[in-house]
Structure formats: C-alpha cells, structure tokens
Amino acid sequence: PYTGYGSTSWIRVLGRVLLTKDIAQRAATPQPEGIRGWRSFTSVPVDGAEVTVTIGDQKHQVTTDPSGLIDAVVPVELSPGWHTIGLEAANPGPEPTIDRPPNEAQIYVVDPGARLGIVSDVDDTVMVTALPRPMLAAWHAFVLNEHSRRPTPGMPVLYERLAQSHPEAPVIYLSTGAWNVAPSLTRFLSRNLYPAGALLLTDWGPTEDSWFRSGTDHKRKSLERLVKEFPEIKWLLVGDDGQHDESIYGAFVEGHPDRVLAVCIRQLSPGQAVLAGSTGRGRETPHASPVPWLYAPDGAGFVDKLSQLGLLEAEERQPSVE
C-alpha cells in the first residue's frame, strides 16, 4: 500500500499487488530494517488482481493494471485529515486464502478550506543524489541502502516550517522514481522529519508507444491532474536545476499562472550540476512571470525568501535565560 490523498467526497487509492513468499514464511524470516533497494524489484507484479478497498464499513472493488498497480478513485464521505483504509487482494492461486488482516494505507483528505499545497521533487531536492542521472535509478534500485541516503541541507527544516505555517496544506512528493522504491522512500522521509505526504512515482518498462516511460510526461500529467482535482488550491512548487524541473514548472506556470504561489528551485553545486547533466546553476534573474521564482542552494535560503513573501510565519523564539 502507498500513501494516497483525496477530498471529503473521493480518495485516490494507490498500491501494488506482488507475488511474494507465503506470509508464514515471511513472518519467520528476519527482515533487516534497512533493505537494499534491489530486493524491492525481485517480486512479480500481478496483473488484473481483484483488490477490496475497505473504508470504514464501506467496501469497493478495484483491479490492478498490467504492472500490478492500483490507482483508483473511489467515493467516500470522510472528514479532513489522515485516515487509514484497508487493502486486501484476492488469492490468485488454488490455495485457500490465508486468514489475515488486510494491508493498511494512509490517506490524506484535504480540507475544503485549504488554499495552499506543496509539490516537491525528490532527488537533489529533498535527498542528496550526487550521481550521474543515467546511473541514478539503478543506484537507488539495486545498490543504495535507505540509511545511506542524506537529506538536502536545510530542507527538512524548511518543510517543517511550511507545515507549521500551513497545517492544512497537502504535501505531494512527485518523482520520476519507480514505485518499487516507495517503501524505502517513505521511511527516508519519515526518518528525516519531512512532513508525511502522498508519493506520485512512476513505473519502469514500456508503454503502448515507447520502450521507456517518460519521467517528464509523468510530472506534467500529475501537475495537470492536481490542478483539476483541487481547483481552489494554489501550489508551491519545489525542485532543482539539475535537469527538467525548471522547464516542467515553467510550462505549468505559463498554463496556470493563477494556480501557483511560487516556484522554489534548489541550485546544485557545480559538481552536482555536472553529474546531473545540467548546463549550469539556475538563473538568478526573475522569470518573465507573475509568479515568484526563488533560487537558493539549500533550505535556509528558501526560508528567508519565503518569509519575505509572507508564506512562512515568523519562527517562535525561546526566551533567553540569563
């Protein structure tokens, strides 16, 4: 199960059905807390699996796609805030279904009064990557232990300040990473005190007209979907100048200038920019746009600039003790 989001009348349920070891065998096998990424890619997805979504006393049936993914919108009547739903896949084999509780997924229901939302990139934005882009996906998937990942300096504090200033704001982590790394990414965000939020990742493999999926298209389509789903919300977009975030966000701002409060672009160091395939540090001069574009190398720089825009409340200071 993956973290989802929604409104008081609908929720977007995200998850994946995989063939794994028998549950009793899994329970008897010690699992290290830090699991190397390649283990997430060794399970087989189940196409067309029937999944029961339980929300309170209501049940809905959804079906997985060829990649085993669940991405379904179901009607609900829920209050704003965090909710837990159940996901239970029917047993695809001839063996009898094992009596066990369903998996649980967290869902954030956006308050109808919310007027600000946060969309954040992951690699080189909240997490230090420092790897050539062609190697990035393979490194995260097959080599890197989740405990080895480092948060970008100052960004956890920035996001905490944003959450304190706007407690009703939904947080969406939008990445071109594969769904297989969602569990380790969720643990990374929690361990480094980033606010909880929905993950919008993508899937590896071919599409109907291409051998490889486009991460750029994934981000653009996700932004367009969010703007339709929450017509009253204006978004704070956070990314980096490594490759495509500026162009993706720029196109979104051009199409929806009234739906973006500001764009924050983290400037990579010269070494990081070379590894990311960037042409150089993000521009310092303002874009020809009614939306503020903010550039800084770390979270502390964004705290100052967002405070000047009035998007961050003044930090409460403890009285000094003499």
What CATH number is attached to the domain comprising 88? 2.60.40
40 shares its domain with 183: no
Query: What range defines the domain where residue 291 resides?
Result: 116-308
Query: Can you give the pLDDT of all 322 residues of the chain as single tens digits?
Result: 999 999 999 999 999 998 876 544 444 454 454 444 545 555 688 999 999 999 999 999 999 999 899 999 999 999 999 999 999 998 755 554 445 567 999 999 999 999 999 999 998 899 987 555 555 555 555 445 566 678 999 999 999 999 999 999 999 999 988 888 888 899 999 999 999 999 999 876 544 444 344 578 999 999 999 999 999 999 999 999 887 899 999 999 999 999 999 999 999 866 655 555 555 555 554 557 889 999 999 999 999 999 999 999 876 554 444 4
Q: Are residues 53 and 133 in the same domain?
A: no
For residues 37 and 99, membership in a common domain is answered with: yes
Distance of alpha carbon 48 from alpha carbon 92, whole angstroms: 10
Number of helical (H) and strand (E) elements in the chain, helices listed first: 8, 17
271 lies in the same domain as 171: yes
Residues 31 and 162 in one domain: no
Amino acid at site 104: E
Backbone phi and psi for residue 104, each to the nearest 5 degrees, phi listed first: -115, 140
Residues 189 and 299 in one domain: yes
The total domain count for the chain is 2
The reply to whether 260 and 122 lie within a common domain is yes
Tell me if 320 is assigned to some domain: no
8 Å CB contact between 83 and 90 = no
Residues 69 and 130 in one domain: no
* Domain presence at residue 314: no
